[in-house]
Structure formats: structure tokens, C-alpha cells
Structure 1
């Protein structure tokens, strides 16, 4: 079963004693809760200007929002928390999960597949009793021990991505410097776009493949290029806008910065479409933006961080490792809350 995990900026809710809130925050960020089951935010809107004296209430400010009934009654939440996490030493058959969750067999299998992609579950064969049964169990009967498999798989996936990044960067065409970076005032702080990286198990790199094939495989692995990136059913990925933006502009010319107007002219596209692809790259934190020139009317410009993809990937790796550490802290806190509630 190929490994898959979504990495985002995650704040461990270790100050909260609400099991449901902690569990929902974790499941939402690792991608187990469907998009329509977002945890609602109960925080009030922030007032403009300075806060009034004596009006600041920080009680529960660091607690995650309480999930709604739609989340608590959903199949992925009840399967993960109410079945496997609350009963970590017990195995469940598909029939038992159907009855407990009041869900159809295809639905049960679909969510079991997601848990198996995280490598949290193991399958045990039981021949005792009335007949042969297949039991799905949490690995080693503890959430923290099961999560170690997620950590190991994620670290291996990051190592493979690092090898691909170094290979793609070494195969890029070498060109001379560009003077268009003169006077470029870059903002080297983190992007305002939230970090997001989809990790997956990768096949070994084919040394006989072309540089374009290596680049496409890398862009697909990080979730930048999807099956919907093609402009037409018969078009090649190399002709898609997402690929041309990264390859022809950012990777082939890492020595220069690109304004929105220049990118729109080269790629023959609209500003909303271009921003959509730039935001995907900014969510990986491999782009830096700034102003070309010191005038207030200077154009906003983009380029790969430090003009070096290998160096830029250091930011992505650090974000990913921090997300893994935060996930681990949340799982440890959740296990403690579940044990206290038994």
C-alpha cells in the first residue's frame, strides 16, 4: 500500500483537554477529514486598531475550536477515534465496522484505505471460531507506536524528494547571469501562504530517463502538477501552463526575477490563473517575492529562493520536519487524554 501523508503548518493543541477538539485538529491537518467537514472556527473577529484596556480575554485562546456534530458523527472520525484509538488493542472486521459506523461496505473500505496509506493499521488473519476472519488493528496497540511508522515513512519520502531535487537542479541548462535583478528588494521572510506538502511513496529514479521526465516526476510528487494540469485531453504535461511556468521561467532562469506582467506575456495567460499556480509554489516555500526597484510603484517580482532550487528546498524540508514534530506531539497528547478517559 503506497504511503501518503499531508503536511501543513500544525500547532500542537497540548493545552486543551478536549479529546474531540484535539482529535479533530489532527485528523483535519493530516487529510483524513473530507473537505466538506472543516472544523468551524468559533473565534470572534479581531477588531481593528489597538485592543481596549481590560477587554482582552485570553482564556482558551490557544485551544482548537470545538468540532461540530457533523465532524463527530462522520465516518472517518468515528472509525479513527472511536474504533481504533479508543480500542487500540482490539481488531475489527469489515462487518463489525459496518455495524458500528452504520456505513456501507464501500465507504468503510474507502476510509480503511486512507488509514492504511498512513501505515497506521496492520491486518491479522484469525482462523479461530466459526471461520476465517481478517482483522484490522492499530499497529502495536498504541497510537504513539503506530505513529512511528508514519514518521519513518515520511522521513524516507523526504529523503527521496531531496535526491530528486538535487538531480533536477543538476540537470538544468546553464545560462549567463541576468541584470534584471539589479535593485530587487526581496522579502526573505516566510510566505503568507500556508505551508502544504503532499508526501507519497515514490518509485526509484530511472537514471536513463530524460531531464524532463525527472522534472515531471518531481512536480507530480509534491502535488504541483495534477492530472487536471493538462489544457486538453491529448496535450502533454510539458505543454501545460503549470509546467511551463516552473520549467521555462523559474528553473531555466533562476538568476532573474519575474514580474506578473512578464510571466503573463511569456505564458500567454491571465493573472488569476497565474496566481493560482504561483500560490502552489509559495505553499512549498520555494519562492521568494519582492519589489524590483525602490519606487512605490515598483513591480512585484518572483523567483526561486536564492536562485538555487537545492537551497530553496531546505526551507521546505524544515517546514516538513516541523510539521512531523508537531503531529507527533499531538498524537502523544491525544493518547494521554484517551487513557485518562478510560
Structure 2
């Protein structure tokens, strides 16, 4: 399953604060709740979901993490960890491998830009499917199947 929120947002390339840039990005794609300029950035920066993305998957992008390592590093529960891992997996931005019986995770291809290219492919396929469905509905209407 692929799931992403697509909203029309301004480019934020003029933002010089890394944490704020990451937070806006994660909010814009629907991984974290919607933020605004008045949002308390300290609460976001200290949250499990933000630290998982930034500290584990961006800063250490080449590293594969086991769930136990992530739970220990983030000082969080298994259910909270998997809730956030699943959101990242739905975005297709996370890579999962099996090492024996143990699953390990990292940002796809160990690089955010490469991972994002997978997201774009999924978006293009979803839009194409929507277009095909619209064309099909329109052809049914034109052929008197309404």
C-alpha cells in the first residue's frame, strides 16, 4: 500500500533551519500532524516520529536499524515505533530487510533523494490510475451506460 498526502504548499528552500525544514516536509507529506509558523518546534524536535526520521534515518542513512535498537535509542514502546515505521513504509520511503529472523530498517537506498524518487514513481502510477478511471467513467457516460 502506498499512501501520501499531496497538498499545494510553498517551496521552502529559503528555510535555513534544518529541523524546521524537516518538520515542514514531514507535515506536508502527511507523516506528522500539520504544523504552522506558530507550532512549538521544541515539542516536534523531541518527538519520537521526528527523531526517528532525522536522527536514525537521515543522520545515519546508511545504517540498518533493528526494532530493538530503535526502541532503545528513541526510548519508546514497540507499538509507537511500529506506528511510525508503518507510516514511513506506506510512503515507500523506508527500506526493510530481513537478517535471519530479524527485520532491519533504513531510509530507502540509504539516501533521502534516492528514496524520494520511489515516492515520485508511486505518485505517477497513482495519478495514471486515476486518469484511467476518469477516462473509463467518461466513456461509460458517453456510451449511455449512466
Length-normalised TM-score, structure 2? 0.88
**Alpha-carbon deviation of 1:239?**
1.2
Task: Find 1:333's aligned residue among 106, 127, 136.
Answer: 136
Tell me the CA shift for residue 206 of structure 1.
4.8
* 1:119-130 equivalences in 2 (<5 Å): none
1:264 is paired with a residue whose SS is helix
Q: What's the offset of the Cα at 1:301?
A: 0.6
Counterparts of 2:12 and 2:82, CA distance in 1: 31
**Among 247, 269, 287, which residue is 2:76 paired with?**
269
Q: What are the superposed Cα offsets for residues 197-225 of structure 1, whole Å, 9 maximum, x if unpaired?
A: 11110113252431111111110111001
Q: Which has the higher helix share?
A: 2
Determine whether 1:301 maps to 2:107. Answer: no
**Cα displacement string for residues 171-230 of structure 1 (whole angstroms, at most 9, x for unaligned residues):** xxxxxxxxxxxxxxxxxxxxxxx10111110113252431111111110111001159xx
1:332 and 1:223 mapped to 2: Cα distance? 28
1:203 paired with 2:21, answer no
Question: Is 1:220 aligned to 2:27, yes or no?
Answer: yes
Contact kept, 8 Å, 2:65 with 2:104, in 1: the verdict is: yes
1:324 is aligned to 127
Q: 2:60 aligns with which of 248, 253, 261?
A: 253
Structure 1 residues 266, 318: closer, same or farther in 2, change over 3 A? Answer: same
Give, in whole Å, the separation in 2 of the partners of 1:339 and 1:206: 45
Q: Is the 8 A contact 2:28 2:34 kept in 1?
A: no
Q: 1:211 to 1:235 in 2, by over 3 A?
A: closer
- 2:115 maps to 1:312: yes
**Aligned equivalents of 1:287, 1:206: Cα separation in 2:** 24
CA distance in 2 between counterparts of 1:263 and 1:339 reads: 55
Q: What value does the CA root-mean-square deviation take over the aligned residues? A: 2.0
Gaps of at least 5 residues in structure 2 are none
What is the CA distance between 1:283 and its match in structure 2?
0.5
> How far is the alpha carbon of 1:234 from its aligned partner?
9.2
**Change in 2 beyond 3 A, CA 1:204/1:312:** closer
**Equivalent residues, number:** 141
Which of 21, 37, 43 lines up with 1:236 in the alignment?
Answer: 43
Q: SS at 1:195's partner residue?
A: coil
Q: Which structure 1 residue ranges, 4+ long, deviate > 4 Å from structure 2?
A: none
**TM-score scaled by length of structure 1:** 0.39
**Closer, same or farther: CA 235–209 of 1 in aligned 2, 3 Å:** closer
Alignment of 1:163-178 (within 5 A): none
Greater C-alpha radius of gyration:
1
Counterpart for residue 141 of structure 1: none
Map 1:1-342 → 2, pairs under 5 A = 194-227=1-34, 236-292=43-99, 296=100, 298-341=101-144
Name structure 1 gaps, 5 residues minimum.
1-193
1:20-79 deviation line (CA, Å, top 9, x unaligned): xxxxxxxxxxxxxxxxxxxxxxxxxxxxxxxxxxxxxxxxxxxxxxxxxxxxxxxxxxxx
